Amino acid sequence: MSHVCRFCGDALKTKWGLKLHEDRHLGVSKYSCCDKQFSRKEDLTRHMCGVHGETKEHVCPTCSAEFATKTLLR
């Protein structure tokens, strides 16, 4: 059974996934940091680790900037 977004028509597997997805369309955010808004705690945690984290093991070979995750190093 899929759950369809009323805003864009995307199909999601779970009702909870649909709620999170639609919250993004509505701009619902429960968490904030650095003037950024996050609807999920997981997104805030990823931001905290990636931006404010102490460990930055991924280094850009071009400019030597350091990042906490490989995803942030693009």
The runs of H, that is alpha helices, within 1-74 are 15-26, 41-52
What is the C-alpha separation between 64 and 51, in angstroms, rounded? 16
Q: Determine the residue type at 41.
A: K
Q: Is the pLDDT confidence value at 10 over 90? A: yes
DSSP, res 27: T
What is the C-alpha separation between 44 and 65, in angstroms, rounded? 22
Q: Are 54 and 60 in contact (CB under 8 A)?
A: no
Q: Is the pLDDT confidence value at 42 over 90? A: no
Structural domains of the chain sorted by starting position, each given as residue range(s) with its CATH number in brackets: 3-67 (3.30.160.60)
Summarize pLDDT for 21-35 with one digit per residue, the tens: 898 899 888 888 988
